[in-house]
Each structure stands twice: as C-alpha cells, then as structure tokens.
Structure 1
Amino acid sequence: MASLLFHLLLFFIFLCSIPAESADPLGDFCNNNINRSSSQISENIDGLLPLLVQGTILNGYTATSYGKAKDQVYGLAQCRADVSGKDCSSCIQDAAKEITNRCTDQADARIWYDFCFLRYDIKNFFGKVDVSIGIFYYNVENVTDPETFNKQLGALMDQITSQAAVPGNKGNGRGKTKLSPFLTLYALVQCTRDLPQLPCSQCLAIAIGNFPSFCDNRKGCRVLYSSCYVRYELYPFYFPLDSGEDLTNTSMTSYVSVVSKP
C-alpha cells in the first residue's frame, strides 16, 4: 500500500508539472473490449504510469509491469531514438497524461506521438509483434517520377531496415538518398526495444508492405504500429541535422490519416 501511494504521489507531481497545452497525439486506441474489471486494475495502471515515465526519461525506453496475478498490468514506453532527452521527457509525460484522459475505462490502451509511444495492457505483450492496430499518414501530393522514386525508396528502406535488425542498433535505422541535385529522400524506421531481431524485421516488413496500399507514389508516409514505426519524407525530419539542413515542420493539413483496427 505504501508503495502504491508513493507512485501515485509521483504521478500526481508530474501531471501537475506538465503545461496545460500539449501537442496533439498522432493517434490513440482504447480497447473497449478490455475494460478495467476491478478497482485494483485501475490502481495498478496508476502505479504503472509513473514507472514508465521515469524509466523512459532515464533510458529512452522502458518495459515493466505493476501488480500481481490477474490484476497485473504490463506497460511499455519508448521515445524516438534520434530525439533529445528534453523532447523525450516532454513527450512521454504528455503521453501518460493524455492516455488517462482518453482511455479512462480501458485496460488496453496505446497512444502515439511524433517523438514517443506508450501502451499498457493486462496481457503480457513483451517480445511479440503487434500489428493489430495501424495508423497511416500519407501526403496528399504525388511524386512526379513514381518509377524512379519507388526504386530509390525501396533501396533506402532495405538499407535502414537492415540497420534496425543489428542488435547494437536497438531496432533503429535511418538514412537518406539523393533523388536529384535539389531533392533528397529521408527515411526512418524503429522497433520497440522489447522485440528480438527477427520479430523486429517482421514488423518492419509488414509496415513497409503497406506502402502500395496507403502511400503509393506519395511524397511522404508514416506507418505506426504498436511494435514498430516507419516514415519517409522529402524533407529532413530526424536528428542529427547535417550542415545546411533545417528541421522542417510541415503542416499536417497536407496529410490524410487512416486508422486500421481489428
């Protein structure tokens, strides 16, 4: 009981320290089929969230559980590998606050931001590929030379997914390729760090396999699953920036989102 009260106090403190206005998430999922069947599950979620926040601020990632037996809750949180510690901290605190606002009665919840991801569930999902929920963003504009673009995109994706599968890279891969003297293609992939090498590769292959359906010939695309993330753009969007590059904050009004649920 004392431990729970301590974590609730920490949770209250960090919620109060977050600015009132937060960035909007890219998407969320509250599983209405898995409700908080007991007050103990709700208490365990409240105890789990500050652990996820603390661990992610320290390490950029954490996967842990809270509670015992049938009321045990499992959680995972992770920041994008290229973002700063400050941006990671801000994002994961926003995520923990917003997920409790949006999924008040559910025991299976996920929330995606540009810089981070957070989820919890009463089922142990660690180490398992989860592509049951997909969020897709694609640019409404098409490229002018689809054949050349798709060939270069495929080669770049092969390169960075191979990077992500290397154990020392912790599921991360990113790179760029020149399409012309004036145009560069940027891409990033990332798995949640609980996934071993093979499941990470499987998740990324599934995500990239959606390109022909949702992002065919598009200037930009994001595929967000609970186990991996894939994105490409015709402007720099990840860190570190090379000399002469500026991080571009393109308006999301030029993008369309699609949510795929079971």
Structure 2
Amino acid sequence: MALVLKLFFFSLLLPLSYCADPIAHYCAQNDTSNQTQININTVISDLTTRASGGGFAVTSFGNGNDTIYGLAQCRGDVSASDCSACLASAAQQLPVACPNQADARLWYDYCFMRYDNVNFVGQSDTDFVTILYNLQNATDPNAFDNAVIKLVNKAKSHAVYAGRGSLGRKKTNFTEYMDIYALAQCTRDLQPLDCAQCLSSTLQYFPIYCSHRQGCQVLYSSCMVRYEIYPFYFPLDANAKNSGVDKLYTKAILPPH
C-alpha cells in the first residue's frame, strides 16, 4: 500500500507533456513468490525516491535468495523535474512490463531502471542490447560515417575522462547545413575502465545497424551511445541548422548471448 501511495504521489507530479513511451524493456527469471514481489516493490519505491533527488541510486532489499538489487539513473543532462517524472513513470511501468519477473529492465529516453535477484551493481552488462536507427540515410554516406565515428569516440572519451557516470556530449559541423550531435553515458556504478569498455563495445553494432543512418542509438544495461543530426540533449542548441529532420526509426533487439 505504501508503494501504491508513493507512486500515485509521483504520478501527480508528471507534467502533462510527459507522455513518452519506453524505448525498450527486458524481463527474465520468472518468480511468483510473495516475498520476492514484496522485495521488488520495496526496491522500486526506494529507487524512485532516492534517484529523483540525485539522478542515480542503487539499493537492495531482502535476505539470502530473496534479495532484490536495483539501480536507477537519469540521463545526465535532463532537469531534476524531468528526471523525477521519468523515474515515476518507470516505477509504474516496470512491474506492468515484467509481471512476476525477478530480472526486469526498462529504458526511457530520459532514464533507466532495473532490478534483479543477482547482484549486478558494479558489473558491466552488455548482454542485452537495443538498437534504434533512423530509416533515413545521410547524403555523402561514407564521409558522414567517418564524421560520426570520430564524434562518438570524442563523446565516449569525454564521458570516461570526466569520471563515473559523467555524460559525454559533443557536436561537429558536418556541412554548411548540417551538424551532428553525439552523447555517451555509463551507469554511475561502473569504474572508468569498465565504462570505457562498455562504450567501446557499442561500436560493434555501428557498421551493421547505424551505417549511413541519420541517427542511431545503442542501449546496454550499463551504458549507451547515441547520435543525431538534430539537437536532442540539453541544453538544446539554439543555433541548430537541421532541427526539422525526419525522425522515423526502427528497432533491433538482440537477446543475451
């Protein structure tokens, strides 16, 4: 009941404009025990409260095999109000997306939330991946791809160099009429080396899914990389040259291997 009341309170704080759907979710480890569900509810409630204040939280609740571990993180550039709203939405949707599952993960544009009956905190997780890519191809595709890789690597390096959980944001002028924007981030529980390795592993999907594409993002449970030809991270670029591009995307989901 306490969880329901708390989630209801957070739902009242959701701005009317916040209606984004989750980008992806992952469910595993079927478990219908009452104690596990109680622990899951407690972890979700704790994550929602604590991460709303600082953009990141890890927690655990339970004993022995019934212990549930949780993590929540907002994208490092979003406002506190958007972070709180996103986490409240994730807290509502995660149990719905993964009923009776002891391993559940939910990705939004602005935040990520997960829980598991195995302690994953501090471990880089690159098993499950979601890739979203724009259906529109860039002009001068080879030059565009080269510019993207250089920019993404700069964003990755910036995220790692700046410290745990820091956000890498970079922009480059591709043509007189087009800029490219890139963003990279790891979950804050990772050490810098693990963060660098996680971000590097996202690049293996670029030749397969992102080649020539005007926009693409690769989402792991521990890190993410994204680029677009329009400003998508904050603060928004007031001098953007190409904000009116087609935003038609498709999704590829690769299960754990």
SS of 2:163's partner is: helix
- The answer for unaligned runs of 5 or more in structure 2 is none
Could you tell me which residue of structure 2 aligns to residue 123 of structure 1? 118
TM-score w.r.t. structure 2 length?
Answer: 0.91
Deviation at 1:157, TM superposition (A): 1.5
Higher mean C-alpha displacement, 159-168 vs 107-116: 159-168
- Select 1:80's aligned residue among 68, 75, 78: 75
SS of 1:141's partner is: coil
What is the alpha-carbon distance in structure 2 between the residues aligned to residue 44 and residue 169 of structure 1? 28
What is the alpha-carbon distance in structure 1 between the residues aligned to residue 100 and residue 241 of structure 2? 42
Could you tell me which residue of structure 1 aligns to residue 6 of structure 2? 10
Could you tell me which residue of structure 2 aligns to residue 255 of structure 1? 249
Could you tell me which residue of structure 2 aligns to residue 104 of structure 1? 99
Matches within 5 A, 1:38-57: 38-57=33-52
What is the alpha-carbon distance in structure 1 between the residues aligned to residue 241 and residue 125 of structure 2? 34
How many residue pairs end up in the alignment?
Answer: 255
- Select 1:30's aligned residue among 13, 27, 32: 27
What percent identity do the matched residue pairs reach? 42
TM-score w.r.t. structure 1 length?
Answer: 0.90
- Paired residue type of 1:259: I
What is the alpha-carbon distance in structure 2 between the residues aligned to residue 6 and residue 208 of structure 1? 43
What is the alpha-carbon distance in structure 1 between the residues aligned to residue 15 and residue 232 of structure 2? 25
Deviation at 1:180, TM superposition (A): 1.1
Contact 1:238 1:247 in 2 (8 A): no
What is the alpha-carbon distance in structure 2 between the residues aligned to residue 247 and residue 74 of structure 1? 42
- The answer for unaligned runs of 5 or more in structure 1 is none
- Could you report, residue by residue, the CA deviation over 1:30-82 in whole angstroms, capped at 9, with x for unpaired residues? 11xx1225211100011111110011110001111111221110000011001
What is the alpha-carbon distance in structure 2 between the residues aligned to residue 205 and residue 55 of structure 1? 30
Going from structure 1 to structure 2, the CA distance change for 1:111 and 1:250 (only over 3 Å counts) comes to farther
CA RMSD of aligned residues (A): 2.2
- Could you report, residue by residue, the CA deviation over 1:115-134 in whole angstroms, capped at 9, with x for unpaired residues? 01000000000111111111
- Paired residue type of 2:62: G
